[in-house]
Structure 1
Amino acid sequence: MKRSSGSGFSKVWLLAAACLLLSAGAEWQRWSPTPAAVALSVAPDSARAFTLQQRSSTTIPMPAGVPAAHASALAALPSGELLACWWAGQRESAPDVRLYMARWRDGRWSEPRVMVDRGTL
């Protein structure tokens, strides 16, 4: 089989080089820090001013018989109450690990309550 002129071969190389350059340019732009990537989700002048106020210096009650708690979170509710959530059990990933919650209402923490366990997933 006879090969035709070299023009077909050079077109393939030219196309491959163009694809390589376009890919490299796209990756460079994707990984380059840009001002748009650091944009704030809330404009600073639209944020409300607030003052911190201590609500409690007590300990949130742990469930009876649960030796370990970790990965806690605290949320302020619109009503002014607080909601605390945490994982607790024998150890991380143990079969008895559950997600608990307690609510700060009327000046005290509620008893902890199970939100999720393996049976509800």
Structure 2
Amino acid sequence: MTVKYTKDHEWVRVEGDVGTVGVSDFAQHQLGDVVFVELPDVGRTLEKGKEAAVVESVKAASDVFSPVSGEVIEVNHDLENEPARVNTGAQTEGWFFKLRLSNPSELDGLMDEAAYKAFVEESN
């Protein structure tokens, strides 16, 4: 299992050819209390770096970008009724969607956890 991060604060946890995607703990802190999540449709093809979902908080609405390309195979319906799961478990129960990777080499352009932590520290 590998976890990678984007500069837009999304993470992808890869197991085999499936990636689980969500927003980082840093991102949910920046957003504040999450009140609504719009998820992509199962079967939708996503492109790396393109809008995949929307997360709304009491502060703002933000796009969630897909860290890699692939087809959505599952969404976290629990977030529709309990969007605050993004706040309580951004990198566990607060995941947004799962996709089947169409180009695993795209992972090479993402940051590992140590690089992401350094990136966050530099931007603060």
| Structures share fold, TM-score greater than 0.5 | no
TM-score range, shorter chain: under 0.3
Larger-Rg structure: 1
Q: Which structure is richer in relative contact order (CA contacts within 8 A, separation 6 or more)?
A: 2
TM-score computed with the length of structure 2 as normaliser = 0.22
**Structure having the larger proportion of residues in strand:** 2
